[in-house]
Amino acid sequence: MKIAIVGTGYVGLVSGACFAEMGVDVTCVDIDNDKIEGLKHGVIPIYEPGLKNIVIRNYEADRLHFTTSLPSVLNDMEIIFIAVGTPSDEEGNADLSYVMKVVNTIADHMEKPLLIVTKSTVPVRTSYRIRDVIRKRLNERGLQKLNFDVASNPEFLKEGAAVNDFMSPDRVVVGVESKEAEELMSKLYRPFLLNNFRVIFMDLLSSEMTKYASNAMLATRISFMNDIANLCELVGADVNMVRRGMGSDSRIGRSFLYPGCGYGGSCFPKDIRAIMKVGEDAGYEMSVIKAVEEVNNRQKTILFHKFSRYFNGDIKGKTVAVWGLAFKPETDDMRDAPSLTLIESLLAAGVSVRAYDPAAMQEARKYLDDRIYYAADIYDAANEADALIVPTEWKEFRMPNWSILRKIMNNHLVIDGRNIYSKEELASYGFGYSGIGQK
């Protein structure tokens, strides 16, 4: 089977490499020439555990190919996946310009039947729009009889665990409107069925909606727990205990009950905004989702306020160590990262920032250029700092040498945005501690 995946980012590259690993002949297409040339030489453009090995192995086995030219490979394929970005536009809608550019290229060059599958997260009815644009263009080209199909196959992988998620997903959701499309998608995913997961077929609109509804649900749990955590602080309860008590109810479950300094990343913020817009367009206000976003925006400011409150607002000229820049551990993705909200507030208040992240330093430079100091390691970041703030819970931050930190820091305050430290243990080293949702 031959497929092309257009867009070689987090989703496109992981999907392409994993399909190739299962024996599919995959061509990854991207407009970024540097990225494509790098990949041909084994340079992986993103940090994603386990990805490099499968990319190199399958490229060498001639099952994984890279190109910048979609027209040159299009008519050699059975399926074209669209996996380009769908960021928010200025009003919060999903910006479909990248998707539609790919669709127009397909419509301009296809000469034989094709299945066109959206893997990008797109608003409900986008598959219909794609179908209509292609049909219209084919008719203009005198190709009225040329058949094609559209399908929706939203991606649920998590950055940081993307390879594993793709290889053994909880489920695969596929929206189709013909038996032929269902059969082709079944054939493609059959090797993964040996791992015992389910492919759930449904109609196109429901498939598109499933992706937004899933992300909205997860974001809701996060904002809900952040609200509970903030209330815990005010009334003297400990959210770590509350979380355990709640999570052991099987109707609630333990996942996604961790309070913190807000969600970020390339998906939740933009998908939350997009589903609100889908609601607006349909004349329906998504009240819960609206509150989820409001709570999250407030939560992203919480670390700065804790720091400022500790010094009674007298923070100009202070120095802060920030451990963790990526929006979550095991990724270099900085999109909408809570660390950015924190650092921008610190810089605006005249505070110097010394930051360290195990994978995202290069990405961070794109957002923060030389306005902060990029430290060589956690101790370099903490050197002569007035406080240590942790927005991202990388494993290597969990058991630092507190005796060394006690010696090198000017002032001994830890603000823990992910509740990874024990207040008692830090107190024994002479550190003040402020977590999320604790007394």
Ligand X SMILES: NC(=O)c1ccc[n+]([C@@H]2O[C@H](COP(=O)([O-])OP(=O)(O)OC[C@H]3O[C@@H](n4cnc5c(N)ncnc54)[C@H](O)[C@@H]3O)[C@@H](O)[C@H]2O)c1
Q: Which residues make up the interface to ligand X (CB under 6 A)?
A: 6-12, 29-32, 35, 83-86, 98, 101-102, 120-121, 155, 157, 159, 266-267
Nearer to ligand X, 17 or 320 (CB): 17
- Phi and psi dihedrals of 383, rounded to 5? -55, 120
Q: Which DSSP helix (H) or strand (E) runs through 232?
A: helix 204-235
Q: Which two tokens stand for residue 9?
A: 């980012």
* Cα–Cα distance measured from residue 331 to residue 117, given in angstroms and rounded to the nearest whole number: 26
User: What angle (nearest 5°) sits at the alpha carbon of residue 401, between those of residues 398 and 406?
Assistant: 120
Nearer to ligand X, 169 or 259 (CB): 169
Nearer to ligand X, 10 or 323 (CB): 10
Q: Which residue is nearest to ligand X (CB)?
A: 9
Please name the residues in contact with 89: beta carbons below 8 A apart, sequence gap of 6 or more.
Answer: 95
Nearer to ligand X, 149 or 333 (CB): 333
Q: Is 137 within 8 Å of 108 (Cβ atoms)? A: yes
Nearer to ligand X, 172 or 372 (CB): 172
Whether 261 sits among the annotated catalytic residues: the reply is no
Nearer to ligand X, 93 or 319 (CB): 93
Q: Which DSSP helix (H) or strand (E) runs through 173?
A: strand 171-175
Q: At closest approach, how far in Å is the CB of 262 from ligand X? A: 17
Nearer to ligand X, 54 or 372 (CB): 54
Q: At closest approach, how far in Å is the CB of 321 from ligand X? A: 28
Separation of first and last alpha carbons in the chain: 58
Q: At closest approach, how far in Å is the CB of 350 from ligand X? A: 34
DSSP-derived pairing of the beta strands 148-152 and 373-374: unpaired
* Radius of gyration over every alpha carbon of the chain, rounded to an integer in angstroms: 24
* Cα–Cα distance measured from residue 243 to residue 258, given in angstroms and rounded to the nearest whole number: 7
Please name the residues in contact with 141: beta carbons below 8 A apart, sequence gap of 6 or more.
Answer: 108
* Cα–Cα distance measured from residue 170 to residue 149, given in angstroms and rounded to the nearest whole number: 26
Q: Which two tokens stand for residue 323?
A: 């451990």
Q: At closest approach, how far in Å is the CB of 9 from ligand X? A: 2
Closest by Cα among 428, 331, 434, 343 to 381 = 343
Nearer to ligand X, 270 or 423 (CB): 270
Q: What is the 3-state secondary structure (H, E, C) of 75-103?
A: CCCCEEEECCCCCECCCCCECCHHHHHHH
Q: At closest approach, how far in Å is the CB of 29 from ligand X? A: 5
- Phi and psi dihedrals of 82, rounded to 5? -105, 120
Q: At closest approach, how far in Å is the CB of 242 from ligand X? A: 29
Q: At closest approach, how far in Å is the CB of 156 from ligand X? A: 6
Q: Which two tokens stand for residue 50?
A: 């386990």
DSSP-derived pairing of the beta strands 64-67 and 148-152: unpaired
Q: At closest approach, how far in Å is the CB of 14 from ligand X? A: 8
Q: Which two tokens stand for residue 231?
A: 């209330």
Q: Is 10 within 8 Å of 159 (Cβ atoms)? A: yes
Q: Spot the catalytic one: 18, 28, 261, 267.
A: 267
Instruction: Identify the three-state secondary structure at position 387.
Output: strand
Instruction: Identify the three-state secondary structure at position 282.
Output: coil
**Active site positions, annotated:** 267
